[in-house]
A and B are shown apart, each in its own frame.
Chain A
Amino acid sequence: MAAKIQVSTTVNGEQRRFQCEPQQTLLDVLRDELALTGTKEGCATGDCGACSVMLDGRLVDACLVLAAEVQGKKVETIEGMAQGEELHPLQRTFLEHNGSQCGICTPGMLMAARALLERNPDPSETEVRYWLAGNLCRCTGYDKIIRSVLAAAKEMRGA
């Protein structure tokens, strides 16, 4: 067994230290070492997007990032999306439009949608659909997810 690697990183603004094996992914560590189980595993091969998180401002699949790579970087997960009791507008519109059905894809969808709206505050329906094409959902047919994202975009633009 290879020696464990000491990693120091920032998760949702908090300084965190953990030890990991060389082959462990960021997803493994978030869930099993840091108890941040909001990030979900649907495939572990980068095909479903359920583990979407932000790494130094870039949207990534946590299952495709080695845990050791996050040394000195900034990780953002679903647990950091709401400000205390105050939900992010996307979280609110997902509730109001029922964009979350079973809820397993929801954290990843929300992280991906937030990354979209940070780049493009006024996306078309087609742009939302293509941006979220890496996030699988089996429960909704995507209709209510797309409506939730468009509603949040509108609200955030103050339109």
Chain B
Amino acid sequence: MTNILEESGFDPNRKLRIVGTSPVKPDGRDKVTGRAKFGADLALPGMLVGKVLRSPHPHAIIKFIDTSRAQALPGVMAVVTRDDFPEIPPGTGEGDLTRNVMAREKALYDGHAVAAVAATSESIAKQALKLIRVDYEKLPHVIDAVEAMAPGAPILHEHLRAEGIKGAEDKPTNVVERQEFRMGDVEAGFREADVVIEREFRTCPIHQGYIEPQACVANWTKAGRVELWCCTQAHFGMRDNLASILDIPKEEICITGAEIGGAFGGKTIMYAEPLAIQLSRKAKRPVRIVLNRNEVFRATGPVSGTHSRIKMGVTRSGRFTAAEAEMVYQCGAFTGSMYYNGAQTMFTRYDLKNAKAVAYEVVSNRPKVNAFRAPGVPPVVFGVESVVDELAKAIGMDPLELRLKNAATEGYTTIYGETFGPIGFVETLEAAMKHEHYRAPHSGPNCGRGVAAGFWWNRAGDTSGKLRITADGSVNLLLGTIDIGGSRVSMCMMAAEELGIPLERVSAVIANTDQVSYNRLTAGSRVTFSSGIIVVDCARQAIAELRRRAAAAWNVSEQEVVYEDGTCRLARAGGAAPLSMAELVKRGGPISCSSTLAVTGAGPGFGVHIVDLEVDRETGGVKILRYTVVEDAGKAINRHQVEGQYQSGAAQGVGWALNEEYIYGEDGRLQNPSFLDYRMPVASDLPMIEAVIIEVPNPKHPYGLRGVGEVPVVPTLAAIANAITSAIGVRPYELPMSPPRLLKLIETAGTSKS
């Protein structure tokens, strides 16, 4: 059989019945009736309530922990501290992981876990936390990454030595690494430019803002196996990480992914899960830990704040000649910012020959950062697309025209070495330029329009799944990839399309880690692409098996059997009556096909955003008036799901650009760990968001799709900053443009004009 990775079978002229429509998703009914089981919804007999004690200090040596009074409280069944976790040397990947879930030598941020209890009720567990005595020796702390790089800054990890910096090998530092990417001759490029603009930008850490806090139930069975239910994007990765930090064979851990109430990258690593497992091991009962919102803000995944310097050159005729960037990512107490993503993708989409990007990752006394859609990219693209906007103004060219003139096309080799296959950046730009929104006048004294473009490479990787045909001829998919963005319905649609059967005959469940082979996590817009290839591969195997059975039944060769719309028939007219899938399952038993592949061939994605807004000069508030997202999906399997990705990307970007930030006090404690003080966009903050789906197929996928989850957030920050500039005549170089910052900016504009 042909390997599906070599031959995707993509046919641009294929007539599709189901792919490309917007049917109701199979998991929808449970979600609208309250029956879907999310992370916190599972209860086991005898289950205990787990609670976590957290450091109130941003940086402190933990001298000792006395849990005796908590342990003596009736109803407390187990207490765990650092002593219940195997020692792993600091400075290793696993050493960082174990220190992040439970502080060892030091507490490194406000909210760092220092102990956990399991009790028979929530109130007893809370009372027990108050009885634990922790002796801290407070240390000076540092919150800002640039300050953390300065000589004399408090050092978080004595063992840390900066990688990639000459002469830094023997001194403790807060710099994790410096990475440099370059192509061509940047200096020569800038000499060819007629206009060179160099600016500095700052963004603040924000939270992924999923509405469902992390939750898990751990059960250490009598047989010594670990059963874990939790809302995670990475059940296989978590299993492997738990095995290494808890010193348990990974075969002894089974993780079942619960329905997941939003993730966006923030549920890719473990937090309370190892604590729940150790509590269950000690208490010999199942333990549930559900984080509260305060803990979610203080101890789970914000996104890096960044500080970047960006320089670009352009000729009068509108050709970019060179681009250069230097940027600092703050990653919180441990590495994880994915700063290298930013350096590699920030300029990628333009046909640049000369470019250089240098990125530093720096630790400080904040929670360890975690991924968020297109991790590391939007905050630095904010700078790049702001400079592009300034260059367009400087040479008097339409900003989308300038982008189009410099758009990368098939055959372009990027700064990270990939040569693009068929891509749709030009088509996306042209569609944006032709869109009625871009051509419509925008007026009003304080109104403005902004545009920006973005890129994400999209991911693939190890994927495994199964397809089964049951006795009644219906089809069940066992998927190894967690569904965080509506991928299940797309999988069912692809299976139904391949098999030529109604969508209602296909169901899908998410496999636990015992049921299929290893799957890379759900991230990077890889799942609909990668798991889709697995489903198509399985469906094609199933068709081959159905034809074999029909051929055997009719005593003919397989070539004489035609499979069509769920039945096998003889190619020639007359003869035996067709055999349905159900009948063929009766002849020879159930059919089960599986596919496990190291999937490659993800197609790069490009998007262009257009936003109109109005600035209130008295309050500093910004009203989004109109928003259009134009993006290449390759092929939208389910149009509703793709539109939803575009719309949420824009909405999250609006929050990032206008309001969301982590605010720390002088004491190094987070001051806004609640949805009241951390202001995410609400329904009344936004207009309808128009989603324009461009389809330039990716021939490496049987249906031509590209991932669509990351790109939608990439251009947003710059599009909004450019629109604010257009509205008030002065440019924001710092986000979020919250009312106080915007008022100050307006004041500066007034002063500079007078």
Contacts and interface: CB of A to CB of B under 8 A. Distances in A.
B484 A79 contact: no
Most-contacted residue by chain B among A1, A36, A142 (CB, 10 A): A142
A50 B211 contact: yes
Interface in B678-715: 680-686, 688-689
B682 A40 contact: no
Contact of A139 (B33, B37, B262, B683): B262
Contacts, number: 189
A9 interface: no
Interface in A9-51: 21, 23, 28, 31-32, 35-45, 47-48, 50
Interface stretch (B363-371, B525-533, B571-579, B636-644): B636-644
Contacts of A142: 651, 681-683, 686
Given A1-B123, A94-B32, A96-B24, A141 B650 contact: yes
Interface in A101-127: 101-107, 110, 125-126
Nearest to B638: A98
B211 A48 contact: yes
Interface string A136-155: 11111111111100000000
B33, B38, B210, B683 — most chain A CB neighbours (10 Å): B683
A78 interface: yes
Given A102-B261, A104-B261, A138-B262, A23 B211 contact: no
A144 B643 contact: yes
A38 B34 contact: yes
A79 B682 contact: no
Contact of B34 (A79, A129, A146): A79
Contacts of B293: 42-45, 47-48
Tell me if B's interface is mostly helix, strand, loop or mixed: loop
Interface in A44-97: 44-45, 47-48, 50, 77-79, 81-82, 87, 91, 94-97
Given A40-B261, A98-B640, A107 B34 contact: yes
B122 interface: yes
Contacts of A134: 682
B259 interface: yes
B264 interface: yes
A105 to B, nearest CB: 5
A146 B644 contact: no
Nearest to A42: B211
A77 to B, nearest CB: 7
B522 to A, nearest CB: 12
Most buried by A among B22, B212, B652: B212
A79 B33 contact: yes
B35 interface: yes
Interface string B1-36: 000000000000000000000101101111111111
B253 to A, nearest CB: 25
Contacts of A23: 123
Interface residues of B, number: 62
Instruction: Provide the main secondary structure of the chain A interface.
Output: loop
B647 interface: yes
Interface in B380-409: none
A23 to B, nearest CB: 7
A98 B688 contact: no
B676 interface: yes
Given A40-B38, A42-B212, A138 B648 contact: yes
A119 B37 CA distance: 31
B211 A105 contact: yes
A35 B44 CA distance: 12
B587 to A, nearest CB: 35
B647 A144 contact: yes
A133 B682 contact: yes
A89 to B, nearest CB: 11
A143 B647 CA distance: 7
B683 A78 contact: no
B484 A102 contact: yes
Contacts of A110: 32
A41 B122 contact: no
25 contacts: A21-B121, A31-B40, A32-B122, A38-B34, A40-B212, A42-B293, A43-B674, A44-B293, A47-B293, A91-B32, A95-B25, A95-B29, A98-B643, A101-B648, A102-B211, A102-B259, A102-B260, A102-B263, A103-B36, A106-B32, A137-B683, A138-B680, A141-B689, A142-B681, A142-B682
Given A138-B648, A142-B682, 7 more contacts: A31-B40, A43-B293, A100-B28, A103-B27, A103-B261, A136-B680, A143-B688
